[in-house]
Amino acid sequence: MRAFGYCRVSTEQQADEGVSLEAQQAKIAAWCMVNDIELDTVFVDAGISGKRADNRPELQKALIAACKAKSVLVVYSLSRLARSTRDTLMIAERLDKAGADLVSLSEKIDTTSASGKMMFRMLAVLAEFERDQISERTTSAMRHKQSKQERVGEVPYGYDLGADGVMLIPNAEQQEAIGLINALHQAGMSLRAIAAELNTRSVPSKKGGEWIHTAISRILKRRSVAA
């Protein structure tokens, strides 16, 4: 039996112990050796987000190779393979229809058996549930910081950064512009029309350039979150 490996790291994770490309490749090679399986090619997507499967070229090559050879696709963990239940199950179904299998080392999943397939589906759902919880906690924390007028990412329009590097201090001139933006929006003007109006009135933008509709959208969204 032949096997193909797939590894992925995003830019932020390349230095993380245990999920580096080298670590993933070593574990895949070791598994193949222990199970007396010939490791053909290890495909690598470096510095690419795992949110979707269709924008990772090396994953697509790995899937094509495994399906064509009716072999095994080996990954270090499901998190390296996909970041949603939908993508993960689609990949598994694609391999299954082609007569190929999936092995995930961290979760000890091997779809060559019925029990392995069942465990795979359960873990995929649980993994997405955990990510959703993390996302909810992150969103809640950001809203809490915004409600306390603390910095979250870039300093937003309408504020200056305090001397402590954390608190946001209202900028009177920009706050007045925000009031105008809200009034124009409530009057039914489109985002592009509001941007054009601000440019006509020579209202300074955050970085001194011309106003564009996306900047207006960010200001209105921040106001709705703060409310």
| Averaged pLDDT, 99-115 | 87
Would you kindly state where each structural domain of the chain is located, as residue ranges? Answer: 2-135, 159-226
Q: Quick check: 171 and 159 in contact, CB under 8 A? A: yes
CA-CA distance, 141 to 152, in Å (whole number)?
A: 10
Q: DSSP character for 148? A: T
Lowest-confidence region among 4-13, 126-135, 160-169, 185-194: 126-135
pTM summary value? 0.52
Fold for the domain defined by 2-135: Rossmann fold (3.40.50)
Q: Quick check: 79 and 114 in contact, CB under 8 A? A: no
Indicate the pLDDT class of residue 144, thresholds 50, 70 and 90: low
Residues annotated catalytic, as ranges: 10
List alpha helices for the chain, DSSP H: 21-34, 57-69, 78-81, 85-97, 114-147, 172-186, 191-200, 213-226
pLDDT one-digit tens code per residue, 13-30: 454 445 788 999 999 999
Q: Quick one: which of 115, 20, 116, 128 has its CA closest to 72?
A: 116
